[in-house]
Amino acid sequence: SQQGEEDPQALSIQEGENATMNCSYKTSINNLQWYRQNSGRGLVHLILIRSNEREKHSGRLRVTLDTSKKSSSLLITASRAADTASYFCAPINTGGFKTIFGAGTRLFVKA
Q: Binding residues for other proteins, per CB under 8 A?
A: 30-31, 33, 35, 40-45, 48, 88, 90, 92-104
CB closer to other proteins out of 3 and 15: 3
Taking the least distance from each CB to other proteins, the nearer of 25 and 88 is 88
91 prior amide bond cis, ω within 30: no
Q: How far apart are CA 89 and CA 101, in angstroms?
A: 7
Min CB(93)–other proteins separation in Å: 8
Please choose, from the candidates 96, 5, 83, the residue with its C-alpha nearest in 3D space to the C-alpha of residue 50: 96
Nearer to other proteins, 50 or 80 (CB): 50
Q: How many CB atoms lie within 10 A of CB 38?
A: 13
CB of 63 vs other proteins, minimal distance in Å: 13
Q: How far is the CB of 38 from other proteins (least distance, A)?
A: 10
CB of 76 to other proteins, least distance (A): 19
Q: Is 19 or 46 the residue whose CB approaches other proteins more closely? A: 46
The answer to whether 105 touches 20, Cβ cutoff 8 Å, is: no
Q: What angle do CA 13, 35, 59 make, to 5 degrees?
A: 70
